[in-house]
Structure 1
Amino acid sequence: MYLPKHFDEPRVETIHALIREHPLATLVVRGPDGFEANHVPFLVDPQPGPFGTLRAHVARNNPTWQHLQANPEALVIFSGPQAYISPSAYPSKQEHGRVVPTWNYFAVHAQGSVKVIEDTEWLRKLVTELTDHFEAGRENPWKVTDAPEEFVQNMLAAIVGIEMPVTKFVAKRKASQNRSEADRWGVVEDLRRDGHEAAASLIE
């Protein structure tokens, strides 16, 4: 990922927060016919440091896990808030006109070597954690134990776990850091008018 210094986001806690808020990632692996991408929700565990561990599961019928057994190196891409930035948002447009459109966004690339896991109890723990995480805050949260045990067993047999200790994060928070303070606040106001509150919050 092209990463000018002023857009670099090195703080691991900030990266983990983005992953928790935007868990659906693109898992890129190398298969026999080249690169293959799948879209998978991940949980992030801060341990072990410094970068933590990503965990998820894929369908057993999905050949991705077999590709990972042959070549465990993977790239996991998370995308956060993003929005188009119009030159009209910049007060400097009125001063000199030397402005162009751009795009603000927050993206994280995680790299590591993936372990494939078929242990039923590990998978049960994972799907329970996933469920509890995504059901949190609902008025009547669904639990894995709400489903019949035989059905749960059958569902667990149909998935395969993946676990990736992260060896490298590359995070880009492109939030108008290269603009003047006046232009940055102009972008915030413009994004809020257009309903892009999350993208505006990247700048503050």
Structure 2
Amino acid sequence: MLIHPWDAPRSDAEWQQWLAAHDFGQLAVNGLPGEPPHVQPTHFAYDPEHGPHGRVLLHLARPNPLWPALEADPEVLLSVVDDYVYVPGPWQAPPDTPPEHGVPTSFYAAVQLRCTARVVDDPEEKADLLNLQVGHFQPEGGSAPAAVGEAPYGRMLSGIRGICLEVTDVRAKFKYASHKPAEVQERIAAGLAGRGGTHDTEAHAHQLRRR
């Protein structure tokens, strides 16, 4: 992922706060020789307090075909992309340039976590991992805790495997035209505010925040 200086996060807090609210991504695992990579869509829980870059907790079904590849090479990438919009060319036209000469582009936020994966098969640890995930997604409660040998979820633990990802490197990007002239930024902001399309509100907020 190309990251220009003006698209880089201003601090670790910027991407960490964004990631805390964007907890669905794609886990990329190198394929075995002769196979393409595995790309698994998944919910996850990010824990920023564990290690220098944090850790990620998730689980997948035991029949998932990626397990042999993950065990052969535990170096993986978790990619999260959201708040993306299409920006029409006229919005981007430089000052004193015909609108039809503007270059269309995409705005988006992205975080890529390079990680070392550890597969979790111990039933007690799997139960703890599940309870941490549910606590993240369902803080209001309402579901019984997972516990080995106890209903309702104990018998289901054998059907999943947990994954703990130790984050070793982070690449983050907030592509929202923060390097453009003020006139162009104002035109783009007005366009996003008036269009009302999917993600326009989020993109508009990023653009204003990073100006």
The equivalent residue for 1:37 is 39
The equivalent residue for 2:144 is 144
The equivalent residue for 1:129 is 132
The equivalent residue for 2:162 is 161
- Taking only aligned residues, the RMSD between alpha carbons, in angstroms, comes to 2.2
* Identical pairs, percent: 25
Pairwise CA distance, 1:92: 4.2
| Contact 2:82 2:109 (8 Å CA) reproduced | yes
Pairwise CA distance, 1:10: 5.6
Alignment-mate amino acid for residue 27 of structure 1: L
Higher RCO, 1 or 2 (CA under 8 Å, sep at least 6)?
Answer: 1
| Contact 1:73 1:114 (8 Å CA) reproduced | yes
Q: List, as ranges, runs of 4+ consecutive aligned residues in structure 1 with deviation greater than 6 Å.
A: none
| Contact 1:12 1:51 (8 Å CA) reproduced | no
The equivalent residue for 2:206 is 202
**Distance verdict in 2 for CA 1:34–1:91, change over 3 Å:** closer
Structure 2 residue runs without a partner (length 5+): none
Q: TM-score, normalised by structure 2?
A: 0.85
- The number of residues matched between the two structures is 200
Q: TM-score, normalised by structure 1?
A: 0.88
- Deviation readout 1:10-65 (Å, 9 max, x if unpaired): 62222222222111111000122131100011111113343111111111111323
The equivalent residue for 2:174 is 173
The equivalent residue for 1:72 is 74
| Contact 2:144 2:152 (8 Å CA) reproduced | no
Distance 1:161 1:14 in 2: 28
**Distance verdict in 2 for CA 1:27–1:150, change over 3 Å:** same
Worse-matched range after superposition: 159-168 or 127-136: 127-136
